[in-house]
Amino acid sequence: MLKKILDAIWQYFKKLDKMLFVAVCGVSAFSVVLMYSLVHNGITERNTNMYKIQFACLCIGAVTALLISAFDYHKFIKLWFLYVPGAVGLTLLTFTSLVYKPAENVDDAAWIDLGFTTLQPSEFLKIAFIMSFAYHLSKTGDRINHFGRVILLCIHGAVPTLIVVAQGDDGTALVFFFMFVCMIFAAGISWKYILPCIIAAPGAVWILWDKIMLPHQKMRFLVLFQEDPMSDPEFANIAYQQYWGKLALGSGQVFGRGLFADDYVSVPYVRNDFIFTYVGQCFGFIGCITLVGILAYICLKIVADSRIAKDDLGKYMCIGVFAMLFIHCVLNLGMVLGVLPVIGVPLPFVSQGGSSMVSMFVCIGLVMSVYSHSEKNYRVFYDAN
């Protein structure tokens, strides 16, 4: 009996995607160190225990990812009738009296107040969407280019996107849209549907800009084209965070000031969306490039795992996780560097946030499950031969 248990454990670790897991845990541990530095240096006073919370979420997420990877992903996917209503229902609670609106962004009603902490349910809606949409695509199969099927797939993608738009969370809405596009493209959507969308895109952008976007949303784009926005009273307030963020990013020069130095450049809400500016201050250009390199490796490793998946379901799921992480990185780094507007998208595994940390580890667990079960006759804890 003991020999069988040891053999099962050995088989589990043999099939585990160890490189991906180590890379993700390493970046997450780095985040905990950054949070401790922020608290130790008195840069953030909102929550002096945030590094402890970040570490707890790292541990919870890592254990959850390992547990998920041990089981065949088909078992989770087929339970869509449980996790989809659960995730949607939890997200809809943000439209009730339980909603929590941060003081810095009262238009973004994306959190639930649990009393002892807050929860961002859209993070778990992302997981539900990746799993359910991958299942939908795999069931559609070769019939994906039938017009009726395309309409159903578009409705599937539109529902979570519109929910988070109604919350006022434009950044997360973009994440959902990008996941939808990448996954449906990977499934083989025909160019007869893609080309009309490309042709209609300029008109759609004009309607969005002229008829839908609010004045403050337009200002976030217009400020990017100003030579000296801080000298213009109309743009100074909008440009404030990005202006100081770029100063902070460059202040670390090549090797940075270290984790416990003096006279850091103060950036509003540096612990979450602008955490990359603190990486620049502490570790300089070398640290920033290293972090970007590791995040790029994680994204590319997930794409590589999608290519060895034993079926389309595993492939689509990996592509969905890749799309989520990739667009998070692009949007976050773009707004820090001042080439994209500030839209409140955290840097994966680095920004402060328990909901984001745990949900992304769950997604990594799904990818590791695809990797572990890439052999058609293999099941973790069971050797078919």
Tell me what percent of the residues of the chain surpass a pLDDT of 90: 58
pLDDT tens across 185-198, in order? 999 999 999 999 99
Q: Is the dihedral of CA 172, 177, 182, 184 positive or negative?
A: positive
pLDDT tens across 239-259, in order? 888 999 999 998 889 999 999
Mean pLDDT of the chain: 89
- Hey, what are 117's tokens? 């902490």
pLDDT tens across 259-272, in order? 988 788 888 889 88
How would residue 13 be classed by pLDDT, with cut points 50, 70 and 90?
Answer: confident
Instruction: Decide which of 119 and 289 is more confident.
Output: 289
How would residue 384 be classed by pLDDT, with cut points 50, 70 and 90?
Answer: very low
Instruction: Decide which of 96 and 206 is more confident.
Output: 206
Give the containing element (helix H, strand E) for 113. strand 111-113
Contact (Cβ atoms closer than 8 angstroms) between residue 323 and residue 178: yes
Give me the torsion for CA of 60, 63, 65, 69, rounded to 10°.
-160
Asked whether the predicted pLDDT for residue 116 surpasses 80, the reply is no
Q: What is the pLDDT of residue 326?
A: 97
Contact (Cβ atoms closer than 8 angstroms) between residue 211 and residue 349: no
Given the structure tokens 């998070």, which residue do they identify?
328
Q: In what order do the strands lie in the sheet with 111-113?
A: 99-100, 111-113, 118-119
Contact (Cβ atoms closer than 8 angstroms) between residue 176 and residue 345: no
Instruction: Tell me the β-bridge partners of 382.
Output: 379
